[in-house]
Amino acid sequence: MQMSTQTLPSEAAQTPVAVNPTVAERKGLTKKELAADHPTWCPGCGDFSVLALYFKLLEKRKLHQDQFVSISGIGCSSRFPYFVQAHGAHFIHGRALPFATGIALSRPDQHVFAFSGDGDAFSIGGNHFSHTARKNVNMSLVVMDNQVYGLTKKQTSPTSPLGFKSKTDGWGAVDHPINPLKQAISMGATFVARTTSTNPNHVLAMMEQAMDHNGFSFIQCLSECVEFYEGAFDSANPRKGGVFNEVPKEHDVTDEFAAYQLASTPFPGHFGVFYKVNRPTKNEKEAEIIAKHRAKVGEAKDWQILQKTFDRLK
Ligand SMILES: Cc1ncc(C[n+]2csc(CCOP(=O)(O)OP(=O)(O)O)c2C)c(N)n1
Ligand code: SF4
Ligand SMILES: [Mg+2]
């Protein structure tokens, strides 16, 4: 068979794309250019704030549409990518992370942001949350935690507190809620932070740090569902008589045990970075294996290697 020397998209994806100088000189995008559609969330939903701060982050870091992707699962919060005028996908319920992993591993030129809800990330997608954390895939996950299933109109979620009355727990929730921070730390996430949508500067600061982290960065962002769990986070909001306690300055973010202990503080707990360490990412490990293998096959292109493999199977 005659083999063409054409470069396939997957081959181009192996090496970070050299930034075209004219592109580098481009001005950062504005919120107006980044906003795709008017969000269909209920007026007052906490998710509006997270979206506005994501636009701010993209504006501030001068990211263009060809440098990032936004991936989500299903839920009110997961509508997120619809509202961003850039590459993204609103994927299957609970499956944002495997989809995002595929992009992260094959497109090192992209920063991958995943957005999820507490049901999407910790219930149906709980296994993916654990495994993406332990694999340390290079991406940022923001979970808009409203402690309820919003889209499906008020079912108990894995973070709903004991006694929460919902359509699935008419007498009040009886199941012990999960603590996403403790779960992320114990599963091997290398960046774990907590914020709340009512503190915009803090949300932006956490998103920036998450984005700058090399590895799996996870942010639990409290984001009120005004329709089905109104007032859930008042005790964390000084404007509603609550307290916003930052992670103490003396906290050592590399101390796993200290992070775990701090994450055990009863609600409203602390806000900030709980844990941050450096560990080789899955991206780096796979790139190393590919580079080693590539050295053995000389200049052969991906599809030529694949063809050889198929030929051997004939
Ligand atoms: C496989 C599958 N199971 C169940 C559903 C129904 N469903 C859609 S969203 C959702 C829960 C959403 O809750 P959450 O992730 O907390 O997002 P929120 O709406 O609160 O932002 C459920 C159960 C679905 N779409 N797909
Ligand atoms: S139902 Fe709740 S989570 Fe969904 S858009 Fe309305 S306020 Fe937001
Ligand atoms: Mg929810």
- 301 or 83: whose pLDDT is higher? 83
Burial 91-105 (b: 16+ CB within 10 A, else e): bebbbbbbbbbebbb
For the ranges 115-124, 248-257, 262-271, 287-296, the lowest mean pLDDT is seen at 287-296
pLDDT of residue 15: 45
Instruction: Please report which confidence band the pLDDT of residue 28 belongs to, taking 50, 70 and 90 as the band edges.
Output: confident
Among residues 213, 220, 76, 68, which one has the least CA distance to residue 159?
A: 220
pLDDT of residue 24: 56
Ligand nearest to the CA of 151: 1
Q: pLDDT tens-digit profile of 31-47? A: 999 999 899 999 999 99
pLDDT at residue 259 tops 50: yes
Task: Dig out the tokens for 47 from the structure.
Answer: 């998710």
Average pLDDT in the chain: 92
- For a pocket test of ligand 2, which of 198, 227, 229 has the largest count of ligand atoms closer than 8 A to its C-beta? 227
SS3 state at 190: coil
Instruction: Please report which confidence band the pLDDT of residue 253 belongs to, taking 50, 70 and 90 as the band edges.
Output: very high
What residues does CATH 3.40.50.970 cover in the chain? 17-279
Q: pLDDT tens-digit profile of 97-133? A: 999 999 999 999 999 999 999 999 999 999 999 999 9
Task: Dig out the tokens for 296 from the structure.
Answer: 């053995």
Q: DSSP state, 122?
A: I
* Mean pLDDT calculated for residue range 285-304: 90
| Superfamily covering domain 17-279 | Thiamin diphosphate (ThDP)-binding fold, Pyr/PP domains (3.40.50.970)
Neighbours of 87 (CB within 10 A): 16
User: The tokens 């995943």 sit on which residue?
Assistant: 114
pLDDT at residue 55 tops 90: yes
pLDDT of residue 23: 53
* Mean pLDDT calculated for residue range 190-203: 98
Instruction: Tell how far CA 43 is from the center of its chain.
Output: 24
Nearest atom in ligand 1 to 123's CA? 15
* Mean pLDDT calculated for residue range 149-177: 98
Contacts of 232 (CB under 8 A, 6+ apart): 146, 147, 148, 222, 224, 225
Q: pLDDT tens-digit profile of 123-149? A: 999 999 999 999 999 999 999 999 999
How far apart (Å, rounded) are the C-alpha atoms in residues 59 and 226? Answer: 28
- For a pocket test of ligand 2, which of 40, 45, 151, 221 has the largest count of ligand atoms closer than 8 A to its C-beta? 45
From ligand 2's centre to the CA of 147, what distance in Å?
11
* Mean pLDDT calculated for residue range 214-220: 98
How far apart (Å, rounded) are the C-alpha atoms in residues 157 and 147? Answer: 6
pLDDT at residue 299 tops 90: no
pLDDT at residue 249 tops 80: yes
From ligand 2's centre to the CA of 150, what distance in Å?
5
Contact between 297 and 305 under an 8 Å Cβ cutoff? The reply is yes
Is the C-beta atom of 223 inside 6 A of ligand 1? Answer: no
Is the C-beta atom of 168 inside 6 A of ligand 1? Answer: no
Q: What angle do CA 203, 209, 211 make, to 5 degrees?
A: 100
- The pTM assigned to this predicted structure is 0.91
How far apart (Å, rounded) are the C-alpha atoms in residues 203 and 53? Answer: 7
* Mean pLDDT calculated for residue range 257-275: 98
Consecutive H or E run containing 216: strand 216-222
